[in-house]
Chains A and B, each alone.
Chain A
Amino acid sequence: MPYLFNTPEQQQEMLQAIGVDSLEALFSTIPQELRLDRPLNIPPALTEMELQAHVSKLAAENVGPGSRVCMLGGGAYDHFIPAAVDEIARRGEFYTAYTPYQAEASQGSLQTFFEFQSLICQLTGMDVSNASLYEGGTCVSEAAFMAMRVTNRHDRVVLLGSLHPEYRQVVETYLKHLNCEVVVVPCVDGSVDPADVDAAMDDQTACLVIQHPNFFGTLEEAEQLTEIAHKYGALSVVSYDPISLGILKRPGDYGADIAIAEGQSLGTPLQFGGPYLGLFSCSEKFVRRMPGRLIGQTVDRNGKRCYVLNLQAREQHIRRDKATSNICSNQGLIAIRAAVYLALLGKQGIREVAELCCQKAHYAAEQLSQIEGIELLFPERAFFKEFVLSCSEGADFLLRKARQAGFDLGPELSRFEGTDGSSADQTGVLVAITEQRTREEIDRLVTALKA
């Protein structure tokens, strides 16, 4: 047993000190009739060597981006991860530490999260950031909860129909039991008409949730939509792509009240959808109603600068059923990855990554849409790094042909019930182009699809 230390002799000494005569006797408080009277039926133990062989075999049964070029998007992206990110995240001092409740023993984590908060504020132009939430989808729900508390409006939230369909599903799961109506403004031709949003808002709406760039990769009128939200006294919640802020206006620049995002793009591998990183920042006036952990700067008893978990009175371990959220963790290690990533890229790097994504995505869209039978589903819409192709022979045909040539595209829009509000085009396939994709790969895909 590789993880157990005490020898049989030591166990005997310890039992003696306790005053019982067997290990079994330690469990005497479990009534006999509740005991499991057989061994657990799980597979036999493996040594490290056997386990490695077994998991490697399972891994090899997956066809991953190692064997195919990844042009998959929809909220998870194949961005480059510099080696220094893994190097820091693999330090046992970070990944085997606990939540930094004992500040004296945790200044490393605390300062890192404090800097993470600072980096997110700089990236988004928002006043305050928490130390992260679970992931992008649950961030929308937490933002809606917060907006309901701030506005004291508990009956209605409005979402753009171009919000990631899984985010919308999460919000619906979270809110339907509170009898809060979730109104979805239809998305027409790849983005939402501000006039439709205006018509959907009223003075009982807690917030308007905007995704920009949206699920289809296209830009929304985020600034105008924020003004509409404010006109009705609702909060403007903007879900952004963190990489896009290298070139796009930041949520803080146009007055968003809450900015949320999936932070996986910032140095975290795809790992089949999680763990990811929920980024959550807001205007300073709402800080005491914010969900999640906050790290604050203070001084110790000798006047030395230091960091602590701050404003804990909002949290579940103090406020119980009156807490701002039931969340009791942050995505500590993933937040550390994002902090290292953002520091490495810096002011220039984040702009260059964003530009590369944008330029390459436009090149790919232009080339792919020239193929007979393939066109852009929303040719009039400006997009950042993702776009939707439609194929006259159907989405399946396009996906299969691409796979045969060694490319993964998608997801196909038909995967999501009710996506795209009105048209729900069954031929739509999302394509994401990150800075990692090369012209050679794009040209090779074009050639294969032409054949």
Chain B
Amino acid sequence: MRNQLATESLFALSQPGRRGAELPEADVPVKPLNELLPAAALATEPTGLPEVTEPDIIRHFVNLSTLNMCVDTHFYPLGSCTMKYNPKRHERLASLPGIVDLHPYQNPSDLQGMLALLYETQEMLAEISGLPAVSLQPAAGAQGEFTALLTAKAYFEDRGEKRTKVLFPNSAHGTNPASAAIAGFDCVQLASSKGGLVDLEDLKANLDDQTAVFMVTNPNTLGLFEKDIKQIANMVHEVGGLVYIDGANMNAILGFTRPGDFGGDMMHYNVHKTFTGPHGAGGPGSGPIAVRDFLADFLPGPVIKRNDNAGENEDQYTLENPPKSIGRVRTFYGNIGIVVRGYCYLRTLGAKGLKAVSENAVLNANYLKAILKDVLPVPNGDLCMHEFVASASKIKSENGITAMDIAKRLLDFGFHAPTVYFPLVVPEAIMVEPTETESKETLDAFAKSIRTILQEDPEFLHLAPHSTEISRPDEVVAARHPILQCCEPQ
């Protein structure tokens, strides 16, 4: 049992005069501040930050942390998010002196170890994607999408073409249309086929000389491999457009097939999904992009180059701006701390290990799907890739149990909820992604819990969860009268 103080806000714990950190006395001659800075620029009152001691703070945040479910404590089958185990060695290695304390404006000659690591990461990402040119700069998958779309735009402009449209299937992640819109494109949403794949007829009907890019996730958000992807790519290429692969689901195909081989011209990676950068309660992610050689000159700078003929006084690794670069998409070089974790993962697994990752991710997903299909049918596909989308619509029509009810009740059984109500093309969608780092025992226990839940009183389920710190927040009130900070503005 936790006493109430544990979850009081920091501001409620504040008492005038308490301190959580002390600073040394100035060791230089001190002058009155208003001699150093104009009086008009100086604050007249201190900030309203709270005053608390270090033990207060530690107890407060440690207590709060225990209110979370996370990969370290729970099975987290959150479809589309790839919540796999986060190796501990990465945290140690990313914190090494000489990695964690490098300033972005140090002299490149002093950074050859770091640049070698990043260069090698670029090379591995190029090989895995089958696309030769890589930029590590994007800070997250969505920024990778945006960056690649600008790269495409610059490419077309360089050719004297002005193309206005970006196409994507209706099962696409919301970031795809959002990225296209902020890159200045018109968005065209396509229907899906009955089987949950890209509808070739609708694609054909919308392809024309205004088509800049077709964005597609493969395997798609239903967990299905777009078997016609090569034909799709050919159709897009025939009208002069480019194919973008949303790499959110790369977990399923590592070493089996490559976006560059099945017709993709550009893609982003989610290092935090595929290569186990931890999700950090919402970030930071990292979204490097890989593109075909004819797009390399347009990538955001700087990228890391290797000079194999470097002389004694020359750097082997240098930072360079591609000649027709779209410019920068963020300050400095990217979310390097996350890239380092991705590098450690790739070096831990090697080619064989990466293939085994996909084998086990796909095995786990299909196994869970198989042992649940009699109670939670999956409308699309016989075999899935690393995730599947079941539908609770039959259960809902029979006894009123919704996808949300199942998700919330699972929390009581010690499992994080699957993704629900996405993708939008499946009614009462329950999207499950077990990932390769779960054991058969865990999957069996999860399936058993779902079966138990489906036998429970629907009224009881509507009120779930019953054992968590809180139960079903009132989101309507939250949106109508937003309370976004715990104290009045000063």
Given contact pairs A36-B261, A298-B478, A328-B174, A137 touches B331 in the complex (Cβ within 8 A): yes
Q: Mark B52-70, 1 if CB is under 8 A from A, else 0.
A: 1010011011101111111
Residues of A within 8 A of B385 (CB): 29
Q: Establish whether residues A29 and B227, one from each chain, have CB atoms under 8 Å apart when the complex forms.
A: yes
The contact string, 1 if C-beta is below 8 Å from chain B, for chain A 350-394, is 111101101110110000000000000000001010000000000
Q: Is the CB of A36 within 8 A of B258?
A: yes
Residue interface bits B272-300, CB-to-A below 8 A is 1, else 0: 00000011111111100000000000001
Contact pattern, A 99-116, Cβ under 8 Å of B = 1, otherwise 0: 110111111110111110
Q: Which residues of A contact B411 (CB under 8 A)?
A: 102, 104-105
B416 interface residue (CB < 8 Å to A): yes
Partner of A5, one of B255, B438, B469: B438
The docked-state distance in angstroms from the alpha carbon of A348 to that of B175 is: 42
How many A-B contacts if CB must be within 8 Å? 700
A273, B57: Cβ atoms closer than 8 Å: no
Annotate B17-49 by CB proximity to A: 1 below 8 A, 0 otherwise. Answer: 011111110111111010011101111101111
Given contacts A4-B357, A42-B351, 15 further A-B contacts (CB under 8 A): A29-B381, A62-B99, A97-B68, A127-B489, A135-B330, A135-B331, A137-B330, A250-B43, A270-B104, A272-B99, A313-B479, A325-B182, A332-B281, A333-B283, A408-B103
> Which residues of the partner chain B approach A34 to less than 8 Å between Cβ atoms?
229-230, 257, 261-262
Q: Please judge, given known A-B contacts A46-B347, A112-B61, whether A271 and B359 are in contact too, CB under 8 Å.
A: no
A307 contacts across to B, CB distance below 8 A: 473
Contacts of B229 in A (CB 8 A): 34
**Contact residues of A between 1 and 46, Cβ < 8 Å to B:** 1-6, 10-11, 13-15, 17-20, 23, 26-31, 33-36, 39-46
- Contacting residues, chain A, for B227 (C-beta < 8 A): 29-31
Tell me the bound Cα distance from A102 to B471 in angstroms. Answer: 10
Q: Which of A35, A51, A411 contacts B256 (CB 8 A)?
A: A35
In the complex, A173 Cα to B329 Cα: how many Å?
A: 6
A95 on the B face (CB < 8 A)? yes
How far is B4's CA from A304's CA once the two chains are assembled, in angstroms? Answer: 12
B98 pairs with A306, CB closer than 8 A: no
Please tell me if the beta carbons of B472 and A359 are within 8 angstroms of each other in the complex.
Answer: no
Q: Do A30 and B257 contact each other (CB < 8 Å), given the known contacts A115-B9, A329-B140, A411-B105?
A: yes
- Residue-wise interface mask of B (451-490) relative to A, using a CB-CB cutoff of 8 A (1 in contact, 0 not): 0000000000001010011111111011100111111011
CA gap between A174 and B181 in the complex, in Å:
12
Q: How far in angstroms is the closest Cβ of chain B from A12?
A: 10
Q: Is B249 an interface residue (CB 8 A)?
A: no
Give the complex CA separation of A132 and B282 in angstroms: 10
Which of A198-206, A420-428, A435-443 contacts the other chain? A435-443
Cβ-defined contact, A329 with B282, below 8 A: yes
Whether the Cβ atoms of A363 and B472 lie closer than 8 Å is no
Whether the Cβ atoms of B363 and A26 lie closer than 8 Å is yes
B379 within 8 A of A: no
**Residues of the B chain whose Cβ atoms lie less than 8 Å from the Cβ of A442:** 28
Interface residue? B128 (CB, 8 A): yes
- Which residues of B sit under 8 angstroms from A195, Cβ to Cβ? none
Query: Do residues A104 and B408 form an inter-chain contact, with CB atoms below 8 A?
Result: yes
Beta-carbon contact of B38 and A100 below 8 Å: no
* A51 and B104 contact, CB distance less than 8 A: no
A166 touches B51 (CB 8 A): no
CA distance A131 to B278 in the complex (A): 18
Closest residue on chain A to residue B105 by CB atoms: A411
Residues of chain A within 8 A (CB-CB) of B65 are 88, 91, 93-94, 108
**How many residues of A are in contact with the other chain, CB < 8 A?**
209
Sample 26 A-B pairs with CB under 8 A, ordered by A number.
Answer: A18-B367, A27-B256, A44-B350, A56-B96, A64-B106, A70-B101, A98-B78, A103-B470, A115-B9, A122-B490, A125-B489, A128-B485, A172-B327, A271-B336, A272-B102, A275-B283, A301-B463, A301-B474, A310-B478, A310-B482, A329-B141, A343-B20, A346-B50, A349-B20, A382-B37, A435-B24
**Is B333 within 8 A of A273, CB to CB?**
yes
Please give, as numbers and ranges, the residues of chain B lying within 8 Å of A336 by CB-CB distance. Answer: 61, 280-281
Let me know if B174 and A316 touch, CB within 8 A.
yes
Q: Is B353 an interface residue (CB 8 A)?
A: yes
Give A222 to B187 CA distance when docked, in angstroms: 39
Q: B98 near A66 (CB under 8 angstroms)? A: yes
Q: Does A405 contact B (CB under 8 A)?
A: no
Q: Does A345 contact B (CB under 8 A)?
A: yes
Complex CA–CA separation, A23 to B114 (angstroms):
38
B245 adjacent to chain A (CB < 8 Å): no
Cβ-closest 3 pairs across A and B: A273-B332, A61-B113, A45-B350
B86 contacts A by Cβ under 8 Å? yes
Which residue in chain A gives the minimum CB-CB distance to B187?
A321
A340 in the interface (beta carbon within 8 A): yes
CA distance A17 to B2 in the complex (A): 44
Cα–Cα distance between A355 and B370 once the two chains are bound (Å)? 64
> Known contacts being A62-B114, A94-B65, is A271 close to B337, with CB within 8 Å?
yes
Report if A318 contacts B (CB, 8 A).
yes
Quick check: B21 and A72 within 8 Å, CB to CB?
Answer: no
B357: A residues at CB distance < 8 A = 3-4
With contacts A95-B280, A108-B67, A128-B484 known, is A348 near B33, CB below 8 A?
A: no
Q: State whether the Cβ of A58 lies closer than 8 Å to any Cβ in chain B.
A: yes
Identify which of B46, B183, B353, B367 contacts A45 (C-beta below 8 A).
B353
Q: Which residue of B lies closest to A299 (CB)?
A: B474
Could you tell me the distance in whole angstroms from the C-beta of B242 to the nearest C-beta in chain A?
16
Is there contact, CB below 8 Å, between B230 and A31? Answer: yes
CB distance from A342 to the nearest CB of B (A): 6
Partner of B181, one of A5, A246, A322: A322
Please, which residues of chain A bring their CB within 8 A of the CB of B178?
Answer: 316, 319-321, 323, 325-326, 328
B391 within 8 A of A: no
A98 touches B40 (CB 8 A): no
Nearest chain-A residue to B74 (Cβ)?
Answer: A105
Knowing A94-B68, A248-B43, A297-B478, say if A64 contacts B54 (CB, 8 Å).
no
With A55-B344, A316-B142 as known contacts, state yes or no: A170 contacts B38, CB within 8 Å.
no
Tell yes or no: A241 within 8 A of B by CB: no
Is B100 located at the chain interface by the 8 A CB criterion?
yes
Q: Give Cα A15–Cα B367 distance, bound, in whole angstroms.
A: 7
Measured between C-beta atoms, what is the minimum distance from A433 to chain B in Å?
10
User: In whole Å, how far is A212's beta carbon from the nearest beta carbon of chain B?
Assistant: 8
Chain A's nearest CB lies how many Å from the CB of B198?
Answer: 14
Q: Would B10 and A115 count as touching, CB distance under 8 A?
A: yes
Q: Which of A23, A62, A93 contacts B111 (CB 8 A)?
A: A62
Nearest CB in chain A to that of B17: its residue: A348
Instruction: State in angstroms the CA–CA spacing of A301 and B468 once bound together.
Output: 12
Nearest B residue to A166 via CB reads: B331
Which residues of chain A are within 8 angstroms of B68 by Cβ–Cβ distance? Answer: 93-94, 97, 100, 105-109
Query: Which of A39, A111, A179, A321 has its CB near the most chain B CB atoms (within 10 A)?
Result: A321
**Contact between A96 and B10, CB atoms less than 8 A apart:** no
B323 within 8 A of A: no
Residues of A within 8 A of B282 (CB): 98-100, 109, 113, 131, 293, 329-332
Given the complex of chains A and B, what is the CA–CA distance between A43 and B38 in angstroms? 58
